[in-house]
Amino acid sequence: MTETDQLLDFFLATDRLKHIARENRVLDGSRHETVAEHCWHVTLLALTLADAAPAGTDIDHVVNLLTIHDLVEVYAGDTVIWWEADEAEVAAREQEAADRLFAQLPDSARPRFAELNAEFMAQETVEARFARALDALHPLLMTWGTRGAGHVRKDLTVERIVAKKQPLIGPFPALWALAEQVIAEAVARGLLALS
Amino acid sequence: MTETDQLLDFFLATDRLKHIARENRVLDGSRHETVAEHCWHVTLLALTLADAAPAGTDIDHVVNLLTIHDLVEVYAGDTVIWWEADEAEVAAREQEAADRLFAQLPDSARPRFAELNAEFMAQETVEARFARALDALHPLLMTWGTRGAGHVRKDLTVERIVAKKQPLIGPFPALWALAEQVIAEAVARGLLALS
């Protein structure tokens, strides 16, 4: 197999993300969002909310991290934040999926993807953390971001949302302020209970 | 309206791209691809085929250009390459759509988007040209990239495809070689006629 064929096979394998439905819906609620759509939209969110990142954050790098951040789902599928899954188990499954996917790449391209993915998973750089915060914020905007509309979620409460999302989004005050605004509006409209 | 509300309204308006179907289908042919999915997938294509860009090309910048390149479709809709539309008319409609969309942004964020969009439309930088080449290559990969499968296109011929795509993809030899390979395989399998 030529290097070009390896690149092509890797790339075509990622088409799978157009067939995986996320838990959240698109903005008008008409259907679930695909993982591929989320990946694009959250990179656009990075460009939109770039000023919410700490000074010196490399936004281009955040965009790259978000472009690849869900590739592991090609083989590992989506893990919903409310499932209370074992985090270590999820991380192990996602690492296995990453290794399997990136093994299809030629040596010339593998490090580029493996390093971006490892950086996102390790959550040590400010770029990886800001990317993860946007990733956690995005479904809140999709569900309740429309002032006056939004979906009722009887299975969730503010208490549960804050417990899950604040550790991820909280370190970036402008992002967390936006999350709190969206959550408060959902409560005011009776779409979401406090506890 | 606060700056945050302006950013949010802009961002939520872009959800529209999840409701616009492109002419090409997803890889297994089961449905049309959404513009949002295409936008993500073509940024991933840039990272996958980064080595096909001329030395010195800023791939991070190509990724940013591709992230925003179809935002004009929020108001202008998709223009299919085979429609033989008046190019100047399409460009004018897309510029009007861009102005309308970016007018929703606060002053702090508008230049970032307006400049990326203007650069992509002007097609003067190597990054804008490489981005456009990938944009033109992507639907070929979606339609016939799978060795052995792919869709029959009775409305297209190799002659028409080459006339439209070579000016865009041809300047990047490795990308054009891939396009030619995919087209040749489609012809060999009877999915596409020569003329």
User: Tens digit of pLDDT for each residue in B29-61?
Assistant: 899 999 999 999 999 999 999 999 999 999 999
Residue B136 lies in a domain: yes
Residues from chain B that touch A108, judged by Cβ atoms under 8 A, are 51
Average pLDDT of span A114-124: 97
Integer CA distances (angstroms), A31 to A19, A24, A59, A82, B125, in order: 13, 9, 30, 19, 39
| CB proximity A19 to B under 8 Å | yes
Asked whether residue A34 is assigned to any structural domain, the reply reads yes
Please indicate, yes or no, if residue B138 is contained in any of the structural domains.
yes
Contact residues on chain B for A15, CB-CB shorter than 8 A: 26-28, 41, 142
Closest by alpha carbon to B79, among B40, B121, B112? Answer: B121
- Pairing status of strand A32-34 against strand A21-25: antiparallel
| B53 touches A at CB < 8 Å | no
Those residues whose C-beta lies under 8 Å from the C-beta of residue B90, and which sit 6 or more positions away, are B76, B79
Range A74-80, long-range pairs (CB < 8 A, 24+ positions):
A74/A13, A74/A14, A74/A16, A74/A17, A74/A101, A75/A100, A75/A101, A77/A20, A78/A20, A78/A21, A78/A22, A78/A23, A78/A35, A80/A23
Of A19, A26, A147, which has the smallest distance from its Cβ to B15's Cβ? A26
Q: Is residue A102 part of a domain?
A: yes
**A18/B37 Cβ within 8 A:** yes
**pLDDT attached to residue A22:** 95
Q: What is the separation, in whole angstroms, between the first and last Cα of chain A?
A: 56
The answer to whether residue A194 sits within a structural domain is no
CATH number of the domain to which B102 belongs: 1.10.3210.10
Residues A4 and A126: beta-carbon distance below 8 Å: no
Q: How far apart are the C-alpha atoms of A189 and A1, rounded to whole Å?
A: 57
What average pLDDT score do residues B106-134 get? Answer: 97
B186: its two tokens: 């489609």
Q: How many angstroms from the chain centroid is the CA of residue B87?
A: 16
CB contact under 8 A, B48 and A11: yes
Residues in A 77-106 with any Cβ partner in B closer than 8 A? none
Q: Please give the backbone phi and psi of residue A179, each rounded to the nearest 5 degrees, phi first.
A: -60, -45
In a domain, B195, yes or no: no
Residue A4 contacts B, CB cutoff 8 Å: yes
Output the CA torsion A36→B41→B49→B160 (10° steps): 160
Measured CA to CA, the distance from residue A53 to residue B76 in angstroms comes to: 31
Of A107-116, A143-152, B66-75, the poorest mean pLDDT is in A143-152
B48–A141 CB contact, under 8 Å = no
If one counts every other C-beta atom within 10 angstroms of the C-beta of residue A111, the result is 12
Kindly indicate the confidence band of residue B82, based on its pLDDT and cuts at 50, 70 and 90: confident
- Which chain A residues in 125-154 lie under 8 Å from chain B, judged by CB atoms? 141-142, 145-147
> Is B181 close to A4, i.e. CB distance below 8 A?
yes
A27-69: per-residue pLDDT in tens? 998 999 999 999 999 999 999 999 999 999 999 999 999 999 9
* pLDDT value at residue A101: 96
pLDDT of residue B130: 98
Strands A21-25 and B21-25, how do they pair? unpaired
> A149 falls in which pLDDT band (50, 70, 90)?
confident
Chain A positions touching B4 (Cβ under 8 A) are: 174, 177-178, 181
The whole-angstrom separation of Cα A8 and Cα A103 is 13
The pTM of the full predicted model, rounded to 2 decimals, is: 0.96
Find, among A182, A60, A188, A33, the residue nearest to B60 by Cα.
A60
Establish if A193 belongs to a structural domain.
no
Residue A153: per-residue pLDDT: 87
Token readout for B18 is: 């999840």
Q: What is the pLDDT of residue A148?
A: 65
Phi and psi, residue B24, nearest 5°: -80, 160
- In this structure, are residues A134 and A47 in contact, taking their beta carbons and an 8 Å threshold? no
pLDDT in tens, B142-160: 999 886 678 888 889 999 9
Count of domains in chain B? 1
For residue B148, what pLDDT is reported?
Answer: 65
The per-residue pLDDT for A79 is: 83
For residues A32 and A25, the answer to whether their CB atoms sit within 8 Å is: yes
Band the pLDDT of B80: cuts 50, 70, 90: confident
Q: Give contacts of A36 with chain B, Cβ < 8 Å.
A: 36-37, 40-41
A63 in a structural domain: yes
Does the beta-carbon distance from A48 to B10 stay under 8 Å?
yes
Q: Which residues of B touch A112 (CB under 8 A)?
A: 47, 50
Domain residues for the domain of B112 are: 3-188
C-alpha distance from residue A98 to each of A21, A68, A84 (Å): 19, 10, 22
Looking at the complex, report in whole angstroms how far the Cα of residue A157 sits from the nearest Cα belonging to chain B.
23
> What's the whole-number mean pLDDT along residues A9-20?
96
